[in-house]
């Protein structure tokens, strides 16, 4: 049994190109959550500072 355990390894599949649809959906989801928090006057859910051009803007 020990011999079989040594032969078991985690296999990782790496794509040559990322799934752009999922990446775009992920980025837009983060941007939407940050915008909703900013509009409602709440803290950024990701604890990121606002963009430079919004740092002085009021919501």
- Per-residue confidence (pLDDT) for residue 57, from 0 to 100: 67
Contact 35, 15 (CB under 8 A): no
> 46: Cβ–Cβ under 8 A, 6 or more apart, which residues?
30, 33, 34
Per-residue pLDDT of the chain (59 residues; tens, 9 = 90+): 556 666 667 777 777 887 889 999 999 999 999 999 989 999 999 999 887 887 666 66
Contact 16, 6 (CB under 8 A): no
- Per-residue confidence (pLDDT) for residue 6, from 0 to 100: 61
């Amino acid at each position: 049994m020990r011999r079989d355990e040594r032969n078991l390894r985690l296999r990782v599949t790496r794509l040559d190109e990322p799934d752009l649809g999922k990446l775009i959906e992920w980025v837009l989801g983060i941007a939407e959550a940050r915008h909703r928090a900013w509009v409602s006057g709440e803290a950024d859910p990701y604890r990121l500072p606002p963009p430079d051009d919004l740092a002085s803007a009021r919501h």
